[in-house]
Structure 1
Amino acid sequence: MSEPLLRVLSRMRSHILAPDDLVKAVASGRQKGLTPRWRRVEFRYVDLKAGRHLQVTSYDDTQAHTANHLAGGAARDAVDDLLDEPFANWHVETTTQQHQVRVTKRLEAVVHTTDRAEELAPERGHDRDKDRLLREDDPVFVALGLSDEDGRMKPSRQAKYRQVEEFLRLLDSSITDAIDKGHLRRPTPEDPLRIADLGCGNAYLTFAAQRFLAAVRGLPVRLTGVDVREQSRDHNAGLATGLGVDADFVVGSILGAQLDPAPEVVLALHACDTATDEALVRAVEWQASLVLAAPCCHHDIAAQLRKAPTPSPYAVLTRHGILRERLADTLTDGIRASLMRIQGYRVDVMQFVESQHTPRNTMLRAVRAGSPVKGGGVVKEYDDLVATWALEPRLAVLLDARP
């Protein structure tokens, strides 16, 4: 049932301005036809030498901006300023409850509140490591070998830690938004959210996702990792047992994996070349509600560009090898986005880790929002693109080959 937006935001304001009770609050998304100053804003209280402060971390498209406001008048002014922004979603956690707020097209609010099974003690440390979604001393990181036995992240694994952290932020906001907008059902302990990680390898992100969603977010989830190597299955299953993690691992190719019931969320992270296409077509076959795919290499389209004549007037883009490879990357992911739109998905292509941490930092996020498109501008746009460049994308071939 919807409520007046101002009334709901006033309630959330009181929770955010409660220094002893707030655990974390997150504002994200945008109301229809409006764009907030920030892509995402996070709130939490930290204890500094000058007293307790509300720490506000605001994210634009490239970086995070953090400011600390003394509890009281300064914090109130900061919160009021951000409550005026046209965010579409608010997630507010207190020591005893979790509140999910979705702003409707009519600018009303739908609120879902759940009580915690037991009171949660908030972390007030101001150290940036303690502000992570999963701390570096988390048992998952120790078991995976990212952190040492004393719970300190190994210097050689800092880039992987950063990658995991940014992925979890994106996963968190994507699942929250999909649930709030009705694209993804709200899971229950009796029927947890089904998530598949295709080509999971050593399952760093599989374990981190399960740990964060279940232990931090309190969402009932069941993860399944798929990898072609038996060694990976045995290794990951042993870690899951030792950690008490609710996850399954199966041996099989991405195209050959049989998962019943079908997953609702599909992850494909750094699957090489056309393995990403295989993961996307499986997601379409399963009618997955949410897909997060971080492509790795793009050899297939790059090879086609080398063989086919370059259409006029684009020869300058393929004359030099490095430019041709970058063009192949862009064409590949643009084509994937178009084909997923044709299949009825709303698609965003974004950077999820800064380029200084990894050169493979593109993420395709697809949310199933309707039925496949049979014609119109989206289909014509795709047809014109592949015809101009004389391309036969692997994803298109796989989609056409479906029974």
Structure 2
Amino acid sequence: MPSESLLRVLAEIRGHLLDPDTLVKAVAGGRQRGTEPPWRRVELRYVDLKAGRHLQVTSYDETQAHTANHLVGDPARGAVDALLELPFGNWHVDTTTQSHQVRVTKKLEGVLHTQDRSAPVEAVRGHDRAKDRLLPEDDPVFRALGLSDAQGRLKPSRQAKYRQVEEFLRLLDKTLTDALEKGHLRRPSAEEPLRIVDLGCGNAYLTFAAQRYLTAVRGLPVVVTGVDVKEQSREHNSEVAASLGVEAEFVVGTIGGVELDPAPEVVLALHACDTATDEALAQAVGWGAQVVLAAPCCHHDIAAQLRKAPTPAPYSLLTRHGILRERLADTLTDGIRAALLRIEGYRVDVVQFVESQHTPRNTMLRAIRTGGPVEDGVRAEYDDLVATWSVRPLLAELLDARP
């Protein structure tokens, strides 16, 4: 889209923001070159209160949300004008009939993209609303991925997938914020965007959601790459990227065999089956990735080794029953992975990904490369653990095989 005067673009957006009948929701985020807005993100919507319709403005800093309501008329106009003066890098404005996206260029010009809805949507004016979502159900990315219908309504059969995407974005957001604030991850620029790879991306729900959230809401320049063994996935995902107008590359390859140059700084691997997670973690370490988010799937490798090796005393009661042995293998596998990442210089958290009612595989390894010294006891504890259980972790073998 051609750029034009930023003042002219914002004046057009102002009209939509001040229309209490047609505005559904507006989000401002990101930052203009060389500036730092006072808020990480700002959301606007109209709500009906006892005193009449108000413009509700929710402003987010790094830790909490701050909400203020402005009566339609001069108070609302004053609030909108104050927000438009702030150096946000992106605006996303949804009305009942259109979707508008504004991007501020390095030359401080405005690029406006407007898309008509296939059918009008209804604006919800209730003051009590559902839990705030990082990406709303009617976001274009969810329509393109088939999670929402043409009217932006979430399909009942896709509720679990939407929930998974939402929780993933919250973890990604918190992890990147932590890494950026503490200097463990460089702050990206338009000239040098953050490089993110999704290993085993499948239909790339998380790839596209991450790209959309980080660029449109966080205002972080990113370039995403999806890797999958299926050519069909590459073709499908490339078509979705073209329909959304986003820059995303999809390549065919195995997790352990893919080569990327330049190397990614953020590695995602969600629900890679069994040892594919080990291959993803080994790739991340080999690339020197600063941030790693991995949600393992099944854990067959260590489980098979536990069945063959004698159980050390006094733990035979834990392996006598199949279901307990399986759960023990899950815990042992991810504990070993976390220890090996710590040895490689990462700070590691093992957290819950989504609630167990959505998926039984709900553990995520979240790692940030700090470069700090490894505690002396970590290696000794790891050696004792694998020796006690007589297991040979594949991740250790992959890391040892590095040139």
Name the TM tier (shorter chain).
0.7 to 0.9
How does the TM-score come out when normalised to structure 2? Answer: 0.72
1:360 alignment counterpart: 361
1:180 alignment counterpart: 181
> Residues 226-266 of structure 1, C-alpha deviation per residue, up to 9 Å, x if partnerless?
00111100110111011111110000011111110000000
Alignment of 1:264-279 (within 5 A): 264-279=265-280
Q: Is the 8 A contact 2:345 2:369 kept in 1?
A: yes
CA distance in 1, matches of 2:296, 2:232: 23
Task: State the Cα distance separating 1:167 from its structure 2 match.
Answer: 0.6
- The runs of 5 or more residues in structure 1 that have no matched partner are 1-21, 26-41, 58-65, 73-93, 100-113
CA distance in 1, matches of 2:257, 2:59: 46
Match for 1:399: what amino acid? L
Summarize the Cα distance change of 1:43–1:192 in structure 2 as closer, same or farther, 3 Å threshold. closer
Task: State the Cα distance separating 1:50 from its structure 2 match.
Answer: 4.4
Task: State the Cα distance separating 1:362 from its structure 2 match.
Answer: 0.8
Q: Is the 8 A contact 2:143 2:149 kept in 1?
A: yes
1:402 alignment counterpart: 402
Alignment of 1:314-333 (within 5 A): 314-333=315-334
Q: Secondary structure at the match of 1:309?
A: coil
CA distance in 2, matches of 1:234, 1:119: 29
CA distance in 2, matches of 1:54, 1:238: 36
Identity of aligned residues (%): 70
1:223 alignment counterpart: 224
Task: State the Cα distance separating 1:339 from its structure 2 match.
Answer: 0.1
CA distance in 1, matches of 2:249, 2:294: 20
CA distance in 1, matches of 2:221, 2:58: 29
Summarize the Cα distance change of 1:50–1:280 in structure 2 as closer, same or farther, 3 Å threshold. farther
Q: Is the 8 A contact 2:241 2:247 kept in 1?
A: yes
CA distance in 1, matches of 2:215, 2:66: 29
1:369 alignment counterpart: 370
2:196 alignment counterpart: 195
Q: Is the 8 A contact 1:292 1:364 kept in 2?
A: yes
**Matched pairs, number:** 323
1:285 alignment counterpart: 286
Summarize the Cα distance change of 1:322–1:115 in structure 2 as closer, same or farther, 3 Å threshold. farther
1:39 alignment counterpart: none
Summarize the Cα distance change of 1:69–1:133 in structure 2 as closer, same or farther, 3 Å threshold. closer
- The runs of 5 or more residues in structure 2 that have no matched partner are 1-25, 30-40, 71-82, 90-105, 113-123
Task: State the Cα distance separating 1:49 from its structure 2 match.
Answer: 2.4
Q: Is the 8 A contact 1:98 1:116 kept in 2?
A: no
CA distance in 2, matches of 1:116, 1:177: 29
Q: Is the 8 A contact 2:27 2:217 kept in 1?
A: no
Q: Secondary structure at the match of 1:360?
A: coil
Task: State the Cα distance separating 1:376 from its structure 2 match.
Answer: 2.0
Q: Secondary structure at the match of 1:305?
A: helix
Query: Is residue 2:339 matched to residue 1:338?
Result: yes
What RMSD, in angstroms, separates the aligned Cα atoms of the two structures?
3.3
Query: Is residue 2:352 matched to residue 1:351?
Result: yes
2:36 alignment counterpart: none
Match for 2:214: what amino acid? L
CA distance in 2, matches of 1:146, 1:234: 19
Alignment of 1:55-66 (within 5 A): none
Match for 2:171: what amino acid? L
CA distance in 1, matches of 2:109, 2:131: 24
Q: Is the 8 A contact 2:196 2:222 kept in 1?
A: yes
The 4+ residue runs of structure 1 with deviation greater than 3 A are 22-25, 42-48, 50-57, 66-72, 114-120, 123-130
CA distance in 1, matches of 2:28, 2:381: 43
Match for 2:335: what amino acid? G
Query: Is residue 2:308 matched to residue 1:307?
Result: yes
Match for 1:301: what amino acid? I
2:172 alignment counterpart: 171
Q: Is the 8 A contact 2:188 2:194 kept in 1?
A: yes
CA distance in 2, matches of 1:382, 1:50: 62
CA distance in 1, matches of 2:127, 2:275: 43
Task: State the Cα distance separating 1:279 from its structure 2 match.
Answer: 0.5
Task: State the Cα distance separating 1:336 from its structure 2 match.
Answer: 0.3
CA distance in 1, matches of 2:188, 2:68: 37
Summarize the Cα distance change of 1:67–1:197 in structure 2 as closer, same or farther, 3 Å threshold. closer
Match for 2:207: what amino acid? T
Q: Which has the larger radius of gyration?
A: 2
Match for 1:198: what amino acid? L
CA distance in 1, matches of 2:329, 2:59: 39
Alignment of 1:1-400 (within 5 A): 47=47, 49-50=49-50, 96-97=86-87, 126=127, 128=129, 131-370=132-371, 373=374, 376-400=376-400
Summarize the Cα distance change of 1:128–1:364 in structure 2 as closer, same or farther, 3 Å threshold. farther
Task: State the Cα distance separating 1:131 from its structure 2 match.
Answer: 2.3
Summarize the Cα distance change of 1:400–1:240 in structure 2 as closer, same or farther, 3 Å threshold. same
Instruction: Tell which deviates more after alignment, 293-302 or 124-133.
Output: 124-133
Match for 2:392: what amino acid? E
Instruction: Tell which deviates more after alignment, 198-207 or 144-153.
Output: 144-153
Match for 2:166: what amino acid? E
CA distance in 1, matches of 2:297, 2:126: 36
Summarize the Cα distance change of 1:116–1:295 in structure 2 as closer, same or farther, 3 Å threshold. farther
CA distance in 2, matches of 1:69, 1:402: 52
Q: Secondary structure at the match of 1:365?
A: strand
Q: Is the 8 A contact 1:197 1:206 kept in 2?
A: yes
Q: Secondary structure at the match of 1:332?
A: helix
Task: State the Cα distance separating 1:55 from its structure 2 match.
Answer: 7.5
Q: Secondary structure at the match of 1:131?
A: coil
CA distance in 2, matches of 1:235, 1:69: 41
Q: Is the 8 A contact 2:28 2:217 kept in 1?
A: no
Q: Is the 8 A contact 1:228 1:251 kept in 2?
A: yes
